[in-house]
A and B are shown apart, each in its own frame.
Chain A
Amino acid sequence: MKKRLISTLCALVLVVACPLTALATRADVNSAGAISSDKETGVTVYQDAAGGIVLSNLPVPQKMMPGSVIIYDDQLQAKVIQGGYVKDDFTPISDTRTAILRGLEAVTITVDMSPGERATAEWENRLVNGFKAQILKNGIQATQPYSPTIYPGMKVVYDENDGNINNIYYPDPKEPSGYSIHNVPVNNNDSTATTLTTPVLGQPYGTYDNVINFQYSDDSFLGLGRATYFTDTYGNRSNTLKNYDCATQQNLDYSKVGDKDVSIRNLNTNQVFTFHQADVGTLPDAAIDIWGLDNLHILAGGIDVISVYQVRYYHKRFSDQPIP
């Protein structure tokens, strides 16, 4: 009886889904490429580049119930391990241009600064002012959701406070937990993986208007946006992760040596911290990822948060990084 009921339900799903697919036309496609979606089941109808209609639950939801965790199966269907779906509107926390320009305020140089502090502040100001001038001259586009490639086994963790996407972990047999932020499958020809977007230097991504820029005149990177935390045991060079370690965004600021220090300024407290680049991750809605919640609390200056907005980080180009 039970089996018959399941078969009937499956048939019903097929009957409903087929006309939905057939009815979808190019005119229905909205700006994000979606035709329609069922938020309760997570099923979204997409039109691919060749004009075909794809039924999937892609892309990765940008928002879920606070504290949600989803894991993708071999068919790339998201399984809700914890929490649940909510209406999945991508809503930046504020106007992108305003948010970024606010985050690019120069540091006030004061007479009581040590020569080292002064040098750091002057450099930070050069990076900030350079990027600001670039935005004022050329403008900046509105932030876009960053929808990373989905792989079997990928785990997505959502913020316990606001439900925004917090971090993405990939199966990693070397990790005690079985997951790490850096073990992104390297086989880009994997037929089960679908690349949706890739972040670009100087262009904002994610709800928190994250943006990473490279300034040629200073041979340096500057990132702005949100800091999240991650819990790997080992970094992307089999290094044991420790206090004041951090991960940078793998598409824009990748390194396997991390041989330049990373300064992170909490723009709420105006305090600067020296961190060490020891890992990379997808960072779907963050500019920088801090190892361990305790270290994030140190950066935040409090224990009631699990991410910090707004921070900016900067470092000289690591020696194994190409000049972009």
Chain B
Amino acid sequence: MNRKKILFILLGIVIIITSALIVTHLINLNSPKGFREKPSQEYLQIVGMRFLNNKDRLGGAEIIFYLYSIAQHKVVENYTLGNVALYPVACMDFTHKKIYYSGSDNNLYDNLYVYDIGSRQSKQLTHDKMLFNDLFMIDGKLLGNIAPEGKTVLQPGIIDPEQGTVSYYNASDDDTWFYSLSYNPITDKLLGLTGSDKEMRSSRVATQTHIRPKQIILMNPDFSDAKTIYKTEAFEIRETRQLDANRIVMITEEQMGSGKPRQLQILTLNNDKLEKLNIEGLIEPQSVYPDKNGEHLYILGRSNTSPLSLFDYDIKKHKLTDLLAGYQFPPGLKVVVNFTYTSLP
């Protein structure tokens, strides 16, 4: 082989490699947000509760926060946040290394607190008598499902942690419950499950139907453009999450007080089709969150091997995995209460 030929081959190889690199770079630049090649930043934020007397809630309770890394398949951080009087909720501000949570200094009612991970100090942010049901962040904004003092129902609110104030979905409405509130980053919509307190307490519902009429509402994160996308009183709905733009995953039961284990159903919006989702090994779901791609369901519930745990259900492979199997909880922990799914951009 002469020298000229070798030089020509080498030049060809360099051109091929350079072209491949340029093409790869261009593909990455044009990929949608969240699909670039980078380590998965998906987490489950788990809220647990420990009873101070190691026995029951009568002696008070404190919130324990667990951060579960889906990529690492384990709990990577946990924090004891402080006392809670009513319902424990918490969410992490990954940017500022803080955890917002429902806390209390009197065991009577809750307020919003923030826990600074660096200093390990908590600070009270609101001075009301609140009951929280959901707490999560959307693009740096803190949202909750909250009943302030004097209100019966839970309503979505945008929280200003600096001012300690809440802007409610409809501050004058004390009849419309938001039984469930969640956010889907792909559709960039809030999903709410609503019902009337007055109807819930009507003789018809309490003594005859035992089913609360429900509406599923979709709206923007600032509460604008709220639209009712589904109504029913044919069965009870307990929780709703967006699987994608056209499908809702729901936890349902036949009626209030129905003894059958609650079940998962998929509602397809463009044709109102309902489909039961039976998961082998899962006895009853308590709460559910789909992942960002709609390929996994994370389920807090009861299985035939665990009275209460957090599971990963791979929708394509039909595989249920107990994520907390073998995890050693701190002494005295009695209840894992709720969780949220988070995918960092």
Flag A211-244 by CB within 8 Å of B: 1 or 0 each.
Answer: 0000010111000000000000000011110111
Q: Given contacts A237-B131, A240-B152, A320-B337, are A274 and B257 in contact (CB under 8 A)? A: yes
Query: CB distance B338 to A242 under 8 Å?
Result: no
Query: CB distance B56 to A244 under 8 Å?
Result: no
Q: Is B197 an interface residue (CB 8 A)?
A: yes
* Sample of 5 more A-B contacts, CB < 8 Å, known A123-B258, A186-B60, A322-B56: A123-B260, A244-B201, A274-B207, A315-B257, A323-B334
- Interface pairs A-B: 5 shortest CB-CB: A123-B259, A116-B255, A263-B257, A322-B334, A116-B254
Shortest CB-to-CB span from B169 to chain A, Å, is: 19
Q: Given contacts A126-B259, A261-B257, A322-B56, are A242 and B337 in contact (CB under 8 A)? A: no
Please, which residue of chain B has its CB at the minimum distance from the CB of A256? B86
User: Could you list some 19 contacts between A and B, CB below 8 A?
Assistant: A116-B258, A120-B257, A120-B259, A122-B260, A186-B59, A239-B147, A240-B152, A243-B201, A244-B206, A255-B57, A256-B86, A256-B87, A257-B86, A257-B87, A261-B257, A272-B257, A273-B206, A273-B207, A276-B200
Residues of chain A with a CB closer than 8 A to B201's CB? 242-244, 276
User: Per DSSP, are chain A's interface residues mostly helix, strand or loop, or mixed?
Assistant: mixed
Shortest CB-to-CB span from B258 to chain A, Å, is: 4
Query: Could you tell me the distance between the alpha carbons of A272 and B150 in the complex, rounded to whole angstroms?
Result: 30
Query: CB distance B206 to A275 under 8 Å?
Result: yes
Chain B 243-269 residues near chain A, CB threshold 8 A:
253-260
Residues of chain A with a CB closer than 8 A to B211's CB? 116
For chain A, the bracket of interface size reads 35 or more
Q: Is B205 an interface residue (CB 8 A)?
A: yes
Chain B 132-176 residues near chain A, CB threshold 8 A:
147, 149-150, 152
Query: CB distance A323 to B308 under 8 Å?
Result: yes
Shortest CB-to-CB span from B22 to chain A, Å, is: 54
Q: Is A271 an interface residue (CB 8 A)?
A: yes
Query: CB distance B259 to A319 under 8 Å?
Result: no
Q: Given contacts A120-B255, A322-B334, are A274 and B57 in contact (CB under 8 A)? A: no
Q: Is A286 an interface residue (CB 8 A)?
A: no
Residues of chain A with a CB closer than 8 A to B235's CB? 116
Point out residues on B near A: beta carbons under 8 Å. 49, 51, 56-61, 85-88, 107-109, 129, 131, 147, 149-150, 152, 197, 200-201, 203, 205-207, 210-211, 235, 253-260, 284, 286, 302, 307-308, 334-335, 337-338
Query: CB distance A116 to B259 under 8 Å?
Result: no
Residues of chain B with a CB closer than 8 A to A115's CB? 254
Q: Is A151 an interface residue (CB 8 A)?
A: no
From A126, A314, A320, B57 is in contact (CB under 8 Å) with A320
Query: CB distance A119 to B260 under 8 Å?
Result: yes
Query: CB distance B129 to A238 under 8 Å?
Result: yes
Shortest CB-to-CB span from B48 to chain A, Å, is: 11
Shortest CB-to-CB span from A298 to chain B, Å, is: 8
Residues of chain A with a CB closer than 8 A to B197's CB? 242
Query: Could you tell me the distance between the alpha carbons of A102 and B260 in the complex, rounded to whole angstroms?
Result: 25
Residues of chain B with a CB closer than 8 A to A279's CB? none
Shortest CB-to-CB span from B209 to chain A, Å, is: 8
Q: Given contacts A238-B129, A322-B56, are A274 and B254 in contact (CB under 8 A)? A: no
Query: Could you tell me the distance between the alpha carbons of A273 and B256 in the complex, rounded to whole angstroms?
Result: 10
Query: Could you tell me the distance between the alpha carbons of A71 and B245 in the complex, rounded to whole angstroms?
Result: 61
Flag A117-147 by CB within 8 Å of B: 1 or 0 each.
Answer: 1011011101100000000000000000000
Residues of chain B with a CB closer than 8 A to A275's CB? 206
Query: CB distance A122 to B259 under 8 Å?
Result: yes
Query: Could you tell me the distance between the alpha carbons of A262 and B256 in the complex, rounded to whole angstroms?
Result: 8
Query: Could you tell me the distance between the alpha carbons of A298 and B253 in the complex, rounded to whole angstroms?
Result: 26
Q: Is A250 an interface residue (CB 8 A)?
A: yes
Residues of chain A with a CB closer than 8 A to B256's CB? 261, 263, 274
Q: Is A179 an interface residue (CB 8 A)?
A: no
Q: Is A254 an interface residue (CB 8 A)?
A: yes
Query: Could you tell me the distance between the alpha carbons of A320 and B48 in the complex, rounded to whole angstroms?
Result: 9
Query: CB distance B210 to A274 under 8 Å?
Result: yes
Query: CB distance B260 to A242 under 8 Å?
Result: no
Q: Is A94 an interface residue (CB 8 A)?
A: no
